[in-house]
Amino acid sequence: MKRFLIFLSVFLGLTATALRAEPTFIPAPPEIAAKSYILMDAKTGDIIVQHNADEKLPPASLTKLMTAYVTEYELARGDISLDDKVRISEKAWRMGGSRTFLREGSVVPLRTLIQGMIVQSGNDATVAIAEHVAGSESAFVDLMNQHAKLLGMKDSHFSDATGYPIPDHYSSAHDIAIVARAIINDYPQNYHFYKEKYFTYNGIRQPNRNRLLWRDPSVDGLKTGHTQAAGYCLAASALRNGTRLISVVMGTKTDEARANQSQKLLDYGFRYYQTRKLYSKGQVIANATVWGGAKNSVKVGFTDDVLVTLPRQDAKSIPAKLQLKPVIEAPIKVGEVLGKIIVGTDGNKILERNVVALEPVKQGGFFKRMFDKVKLFFMNLF
């Protein structure tokens, strides 16, 4: 029996008679003065612009995004709490570079250390967090590399928690965007830390080095980095009209340049692209025939919203093709994959996503099963 095909159109707020295909005009991306950069849709993970995005480079304090992700993972598990009291070790106190100015032997709430790490880029706060979570910085680094692998960060290896220059410590713009996206989507309850403009500890008030927090009201994160080897780096995120983008620039020449180049990337992305929801979680897109079941059909759809990044000027109707299994037999469980949907054309496939059963279907009685088997036999003859 041939595969069951259903041809659909994804309608975005218009009726079929109102649809009119219009040409899409998008200029080339802006020239970005950085060794490596990427622009990603935070909801879909689609890449809008990239250049040398998989090149292994020293990430400087962008490393702290990986440290923050691991910490937020442990917070979500309940293994640690923002109210935990952390005793500051000699190692943490002695850290050079950017500092929160912690005192050795003092006891500091974990929440304060996270603010020191994210807002002030404090190396001392970062080491204190690592030691609290895993017992030592080296043990915490093992967690960082394990999480990086699970997130699909293929061009990263971490040797410390801070980004302090050390051999065999590298990442890429693409990988930094991946962990930034995970922070935003997986732990939104903690994302407010990344937009704080100032943080004061020990009587010392320090500004967030992300200049875009002052220049662009849509920007609400994430993290800067700088060493001589890495140059000036910035992972930024902004939300405009329901679309959230992530930009990462690595290896710019000045503090001002990393802000300007990031702004150019974000403005380009928001000007010409947007996130669109094609289907909603639980939306029924077809009723598929079921053989040998207590019911003759099953509702088919998606377990999550189906989102895609598209040019703003694209036509409002997008062709979609639903491919169901040739034969769907009971019993069927909720969430069982019954086929896939392909959105786009043969020459321009936008996305491919599994479709699942939205309801269970039990096996039918003996005579119902036998009848359906006979019916299928004769159908396959023709």
189 and 66 share a domain? yes
Q: Is residue 53 part of a domain?
A: yes
DSSP one-letter code for 103: P
Q: Is residue 292 part of a domain?
A: yes
123 and 204 share a domain? yes
Q: What is the pLDDT of residue 114?
A: 98
Give the CATH number for residue 338: 2.60.410.10
Structural domain range at position 334: 4-19+278-381
Average pLDDT across the chain, whole number: 91
205 and 321 share a domain? no
Q: Which phi and psi angles does 23 have, rounded to 5°?
A: -65, 150
Confidence of residue 381 (pLDDT cuts 50, 70, 90): low
Q: What is the pLDDT of residue 2?
A: 42
DSSP one-letter code for 35: S
Q: Of 252, 267, 286, which residue constitutes the final position of a domain?
A: 252
Q: Is residue 322 part of a domain?
A: yes
Q: Of 252, 287, 304, which residue constitutes the final position of a domain?
A: 252
Q: Is residue 174 part of a domain?
A: yes
Q: Is residue 28 part of a domain?
A: no
Q: Which phi and psi angles does 346 have, rounded to 5°?
A: -60, -35
Give the predicted TM-score (pTM) of the model. 0.87
325 and 241 share a domain? no
Q: Is residue 291 part of a domain?
A: yes
Q: Are 307 and 181 in contact (CB under 8 A)?
A: no
**Pairwise pLDDT comparison (20 vs 369), residue with the higher score:** 369
Residues in CB range of 136: below 8 A, 6 or more apart: 130
247 and 293 share a domain? no
180 and 118 share a domain? yes
10 and 46 share a domain? no
Confidence of residue 373 (pLDDT cuts 50, 70, 90): confident
What residues are annotated to the active site? 61, 64, 121
362 labelled as ligand-binding?
Answer: no
Q: Of 203, 235, 252, which residue constitutes the final position of a domain?
A: 252
Q: Is residue 24 part of a domain?
A: no
224 and 356 share a domain? no
183 and 286 share a domain? no
Query: What span, in angstroms and rounded, lies between the C-alpha atoms of 2 and 335?
Result: 24
pLDDT tens-place string over residues 313-344 = 665 667 888 999 999 998 999 999 999 999 88
Q: Which phi and psi angles does 295 have, rounded to 5°?
A: -120, 155
295 and 219 share a domain? no
One-letter amino acid for residue 292 of the chain:
G
Q: Is residue 285 part of a domain?
A: yes
76 and 119 share a domain? yes
Of residues 202, 210, 159, the one with CA closest to residue 180: 210
Percentage of residues of the chain with pLDDT beyond 70: 92
Lowest mean pLDDT among 52-66, 201-215, 266-280, 309-323: 309-323
Task: Count up the domains in the chain and report the number.
Answer: 2
pLDDT at residue 9 is higher than 60: no
pLDDT tens-place string over residues 66-105 = 999 999 999 999 999 999 999 999 999 999 999 999 999 9
Query: Is the bond preceding 331 in cis, omega lying within 30 degrees of 0?
Result: yes
Q: What is the pLDDT of residue 8?
A: 57
pLDDT, average across residues 263-292? 93
Q: What is the pLDDT of residue 21?
A: 44
Q: Which residue has the tokens 């050390």?
A: 166
Q: What is the pLDDT of residue 108?
A: 98
Confidence of residue 25 (pLDDT cuts 50, 70, 90): confident
Give the CATH number for residue 217: 3.40.710.10
307 and 191 share a domain? no
pLDDT, average across residues 303-308? 91
